[in-house]
Amino acid sequence: MADARHRPGNYGIDAPNVVRNLLLLGIGCLVLGVVSFYVFPEKWLWLGVAIGMVLFIAFLILLIESLYMIWSSKVGKYRMREKLLDFIQLRGDELLLDAGCGRGLVLIAAARRLTTGKAYGIDIWSKRDQSGNEPEVTRENARVEGVAERVEVLNGDMRAIPFPDGYFDAVVSSLAVHNISNLEERRRVLGEMMRVLKPGGRLAILDFQHVRQYADALRELEALDVHIYGPYWSMFPPVRIVAGRKK
Ligand SMILES: C[S@@+](CC[C@H](N)C(=O)[O-])C[C@H]1O[C@@H](n2cnc3c(N)ncnc32)[C@H](O)[C@@H]1O
């Protein structure tokens, strides 16, 4: 397994709005909790203390959740990218697609495992899904990590992957497919991933939601050896990996 501590690139924070909202909500609970100790008259003091305690516990839970999410983006995710890539067993000469590559965390780790192959990343660059999400940032990360010549970054929607049938030896995707809210569109994504895979090509998807659906869709598409692994708690929310291969 490659070294999960190798991380010169800068890969941002996932779901930055969620992290910010959890922190703001937590601070709100703390402020209201403190206020509730003082606003109740003497005979209702017990109620103020009870409300204050509940709000303080809510503050602690929200704080822990948001810190866990930040830790997940900054530490846990580096462990999971290597685990995800272990599922596709690269030799080094493959063409690989990372669907929803963002700032390139998995894409670049994949390129580091390639010798003569190439790693392609497509994305629609949503800043709501990842902070500072831009193709130039991904290319800069590839340069910093010394794999720029083995990485290609493109604009592309995984619902209509801009590559011909059977182009890739492997397809990976990390924390991206759940961003598509519609079930039928998620199924279309899996169809697209299978379409661009060569026969015998491997696929591994990491996500914290809908993973059973992905596995069902892949089986319907006649993928072989489809299994779900996890949950893995190196990330928050905890994630699972679905892996399989094209017939
Ligand atoms: C939470 S980020 C994860 C990025 C990267 N895979 C990682 O693990 O660091 C989700 C990514 O999915 C991308 N995304 C969302 N919907 C997409 C779509 N329909 N097609 C391609 N990318 C998409 C977002 O722009 C974002 O870069």
**Ligand 1 neighbourhood includes 158 CB (under 6 angstroms):** yes
What are the structural domain ranges in the chain?
Answer: 16-73, 77-245
Peptide bond into 238 cis (omega under 30): no
Atom of ligand 1 nearest to the CA of 73: 9
Which letter does DSSP use for residue 130 in this model? B
- Give the model's pLDDT for residue 66: 92
- Give the model's pLDDT for residue 1: 45
CA 108 to centroid of chain Cα atoms = 14
| DSSP-assigned beta bridge partners for residue 141 | none
Atom of ligand 1 nearest to the CA of 157: 20
| pLDDT per residue of the chain (247 residues) written in tens, 0 to 9 | 455 555 667 787 878 888 899 999 999 999 999 999 889 888 898 999 999 999 999 999 999 999 988 988 888 898 999 999 999 999 999 999 999 999 999 999 999 999 999 999 999 999 988 888 999 999 999 999 999 999 999 999 999 999 999 999 999 999 999 999 999 999 999 999 999 999 999 999 999 999 999 999 999 999 999 999 999 998 888 999 999 999 9
**Pairing relation of β-strands 118-123 and 168-174?**
unpaired
Distance 125 CA to ligand 1 centre (A): 7
Rounded to 5°, angle at Cα 211 from 108 and 103: 20
Distance 177 CA to ligand 1 centre (A): 7
**Ligand 1 neighbourhood includes 159 CB (under 6 angstroms):** yes
Task: In whole angstroms, give the CA distance from residue 11 to residue 14.
Answer: 9
Pocket test for ligand 1, best of 75, 81, 130 (most atoms within 8 A of CB): 130
Q: Over the stretch 21-51, which tens digit does the pLDDT of each residue have?
A: 999 999 999 999 999 988 988 889 899 999 9
Distance 100 CA to ligand 1 centre (A): 4
Q: At what angle do helices 135-144 and 105-112 cross, to 10 degrees?
A: 30
Homologous superfamily assigned to 77-245: Vaccinia Virus protein VP39 (3.40.50.150)
Task: In whole angstroms, give the CA distance from residue 158 to residue 233.
Answer: 27
